[in-house]
């Protein structure tokens, strides 16, 4: 059984419960609708957690605590790691550690899944990565078709020595690109074309994407996923605010209610598409 997984980490000691924004819950919902029939979906967190916008997601996504043993392997001293690494980079370390230990499909919580990953999971490669361009591999979507992929071990062993806290793009993209080139002979690696893994539409295309409740019937049929964080929103408005306004706020809030109440029915409908 294929394993899809996410992380939602709360590193503030004063926060007792983790949650996702409506925007991020929408992205997880898209994965349930496309991939629930081919694998399990898990959200790992280090605090108590509840889905608050699409509450029915709790029936399809298992919420589990982060594995303390894997955490200890990846980060010798969690307290010191919190001081040294920024939260986004702690998440980088954890996803590599989990992928090395278990394999599976890691997704950032802002990735919208546009169609089933079944063809990707059937590829004869140890590792499948998504790219933003021919020169940029992104770590927001990673598919390891088996545990123990050597690339992840090498990434973890060298991450601390090569860590640059003030250069997000280096730690999350440039470093991974270099490691992929270095390990290309040790593992069977496939890098997806940007159009397949990450598509960055303009805001008017985003409007088309969310025009109806059935946001799976979009114009981006060649894309497996869309990384929302790279989308271009209208001037003066964040992408998250734009999407939230489009699908989660009045007068369109009935879409959220409809999706939340009828997820079971929607799953049946999507299987028939």
Tell me the pLDDT tens digit for each residue of 40-50.
Answer: 999 999 889 99
- Check residue 249 and give its pLDDT: 53
DSSP string, 120-175: HHTSS-SEEEEEEETTEEEEEEEEESSS--HHHHHHHHHHTTT--TT-HHIIIIIH
- Check residue 251 and give its pLDDT: 45
Which residues make beta-bridge pairs with 129? 142, 191
**CA gap 185, 21 in Å, rounded:** 40
Mean pLDDT of the 209-229 span: 62
User: Taking the model in full, what pTM does it have?
Assistant: 0.82
Mean pLDDT of the 140-152 span: 91
- Check residue 1 and give its pLDDT: 55
Could you give the residue ranges of the DSSP H alpha helices within the chain? 22-35, 68-74, 78-84, 87-102, 118-121, 150-159, 168-169, 175-183, 194-197, 203-209, 239-247, 253-261, 263-271
Which residues make beta-bridge pairs with 191? 129
- Please report, to the nearest 10 degrees, the dihedral formed by the alpha carbons of residues 215, 216, 217, 221 taken in order: 130
Q: What is the number of other CB atoms lying within 10 angstroms of the CB of residue 259?
A: 23
Q: Which of 10-19, 66-75, 215-224, 243-252 has the lowest mean pLDDT?
A: 243-252
Per-residue CA distances from 63 to 7, 18, 24, 60 (Å):
10, 11, 15, 10
**CA gap 125, 192 in Å, rounded:** 12
For CA atoms 160, 162, 165, 168, the dihedral sign is negative
Q: What is the number of other CB atoms lying within 10 angstroms of the CB of residue 182?
A: 13
């Amino acid at each position: 059984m294929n394993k899809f997984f996410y992380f939602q980490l709360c590193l503030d000691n004063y926060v007792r419960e983790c949650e996702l924004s409506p925007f991020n819950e929408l992205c997880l919902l898209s994965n349930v609708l496309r991939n629930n029939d081919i694998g399990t979906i898990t959200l790992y967190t280090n605090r108590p957690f509840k889905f608050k916008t699409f509450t029915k997601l709790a029936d399809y996504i298992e919420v589990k605590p982060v594995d303390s043993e894997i955490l200890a392997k990846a980060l010798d001293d969690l307290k010191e790691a919190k001081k040294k690494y920024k939260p986004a980079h702690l998440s980088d370390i954890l996803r590599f550690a989990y992928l090395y230990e278990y394999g599976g499909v890691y997704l950032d919580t802002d990735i919208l899944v546009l169609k089933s990953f079944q063809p990707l999971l059937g590829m004869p490669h140890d590792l499948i990565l998504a790219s933003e361009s021919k020169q940029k591999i992104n770590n927001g979507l990673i598919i390891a078709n088996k545990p123990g992929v050597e690339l992840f071990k090498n990434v973890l062993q060298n991450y601390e020595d090569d860590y640059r806290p003030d250069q997000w793009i280096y730690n999350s993209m440039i470093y991974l690109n270099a490691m992929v080139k270095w390990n290309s002979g040790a593992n069977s690696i496939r890098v997806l074309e940007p159009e397949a893994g990450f598509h960055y539409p303009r805001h008017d295309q985003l409007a088309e994407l969310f025009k109806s409740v059935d946001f799976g019937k979009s114009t981006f049929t060649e894309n497996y996923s869309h990384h929302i964080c790279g989308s271009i929103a209208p001037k003066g408005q964040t992408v998250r605010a734009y999407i939230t306004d489009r699908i989660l706020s009045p007068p369109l809030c009935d879409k959220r209610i409809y999706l939340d109440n009828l997820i079971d029915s929607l799953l049946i409908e999507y299987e028939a598409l």
